[in-house]
Amino acid sequence: MLGSAKPSPVPEPARADMESLLLKSVSKQEETYLDQFRQGQKELAGWGHPWLDQVRREAMARFSGLGFPTTHREEWKYTNVAPLARIPFRPAGFVLNGLTQEKLSRFLLSDPGSSCLVFVNGHWCPGFSSLEELPQGVYAGSLADILENNPTRVEEHLARYAAFQEHAFVALNTAFLNDGAFIEISPGLVLDKPIHLLFISTVSDTATVTHPRNLILAGPSTQATIFESYVSLEDGVYMTNAVTEVVVGENAVITHCKLQEESRQAFHIATLQVQQARNSTFASHSISLGGGLVRNEINAVLGGEGIHCELNGLYAVNGSQHVDNHTLVDHAQPHCTSHELYKGILDDKASGVFNGSIVVRQDAQKTDAIQRNKNLLLSKDALINTKPQLDILADDVRCTHGATVGQVDQEAVFYLRSRGIDEEAARRVLIHGFAREIIERIKVEALVTLLEERLSAHLSTYHKTRERV
């Protein structure tokens, strides 16, 4: 359960073992992926590089060993992935399906100087991407490109942080590791515009799966904002299984923002793995509005002294959506602070999970960790399971966590009504205000504008007139 303090090299099980695992018969659901791997591995970018092949094969062996998690596993207790496991997803191809620059524009930041990398069904699409404004010293492009042409550039970092030993989906992603964004920022560089990574799904008739893999290397003393967004052109059944690894160098200040607006029938499983070095600051803002079954995992390893880590999250779901947020802050070194705030709004029959864990290791004295989870339940059938955890092995620390579940404050509604605002509007204002606290924490204006707009559009789909509790 614990992440490792240092980037751990992938352990090397005996080769014979791996072969036998790959050949071993596994259950049908996992078999689909095993077949896909056997047939398609040669087409993955950078095939033939021994270290890459080995990582992929190990990950595949691990996946078939683990199988899809069941609710008997503590980490998946409240999220049942059986429906996902039952569907034989096929790898998604590069299909535009009528996608044009116009259709794309509504997903983009309005800020003229910002750069954007567009991925269609997980494949890099240079035609839609705009990288002209990127300053010298920043590399941003396709990971597949790098793996084909210059794999040694990523060898030191790729797949070294997101551990797949105990995580079937990370293992699956690593096995099919192919394309995604690769961003490298040279030491000392300050980027004043965000870099946008847009993952768009153009759904076809069959259920497809993509395994986007991003690697972000921020050198010492850099400053940057990375914005990842996951959207779909149409409603449809598909799966996104994404992994992003972020390495934050000494004194760097990195903000990562993610907007998840997948189709209502889609499965979205994502892991964000962060490795922070001394005196760095990292902030994550995770906004989940779409998707049918969503699982966001954020693991931050505080591997040096004087680190600050901030995790903010908002999940607003209705209908029959299910969203699961797992966070783990691993205080591996002394004198670090971490602040976490996750807020949830659940309507209709939606269900939510928050599982936040703070680990303070024995040496990590003077740790200051705060974790908060607040939930609004708007309907009788909505459901929330929240599980904040503290795992503390050092004594000179200050750690707190709190979780609340409640409704829209009746007194606040009354106050607004007494000022002439009708009940429906009053409730809307209060719900919106509840959600805004998260968005307000983002410092990039263009991002705030976009998120504010998406949030308003999303909240307006909530039932307007209904008997309220």
What is the binding site for other proteins (CB under 8 A)?
74, 362, 365, 375, 377-380, 382-407, 469
Residue 223 class from Cβ within 10 Å (0-12 exposed, 13-18 middle, 19+ buried)? middle
- From CA 252, how far away is CA 248, in angstroms rounded? 6
Judged by DSSP in three states, 22 sits in: helix
- From CA 41, how far away is CA 269, in angstroms rounded? 22
CB of 313 to other proteins, least distance (A): 17
Q: Which two tokens stand for residue 207?
A: 């259920």
CB of 344 to other proteins, least distance (A): 11
CB of 441 to other proteins, least distance (A): 22
CB of 77 to other proteins, least distance (A): 9
DSSP one-letter code for 42: G
Q: Which is nearer to other proteins, 392 or 429 (CB)?
A: 392
CB of 43 to other proteins, least distance (A): 43
Q: Which is nearer to other proteins, 380 or 443 (CB)?
A: 380
Q: Which is nearer to other proteins, 94 or 414 (CB)?
A: 414
CB of 6 to other proteins, least distance (A): 21
Judged by DSSP in three states, 277 sits in: coil
Q: Which is nearer to other proteins, 249 or 334 (CB)?
A: 334
Buried b or exposed e, range 282-298, using 16+ CB within 10 angstroms:
bbbbbbbbbbbbbbbbb
Whether 8 contacts 159, CB under 8 Å: no
Q: Which is nearer to other proteins, 191 or 369 (CB)?
A: 369
Q: Which is nearer to other proteins, 74 or 424 (CB)?
A: 74
Q: Which two tokens stand for residue 227?
A: 């914005």
Say how many C-beta atoms besides its own lie within 10 A of residue 370's C-beta.
16
- From CA 17, how far away is CA 320, in angstroms rounded? 42
CB of 346 to other proteins, least distance (A): 8
Q: How many helices (H) and strands (E) does the chain have?
A: 11, 21
H helix or E strand, kind and range, residue 359: strand 351-360
CB of 369 to other proteins, least distance (A): 9
- From CA 352, how far away is CA 346, in angstroms rounded? 7
Q: Which is nearer to other proteins, 320 or 404 (CB)?
A: 404
One-letter amino acid of 324: D
Q: Which is nearer to other proteins, 394 or 421 (CB)?
A: 394
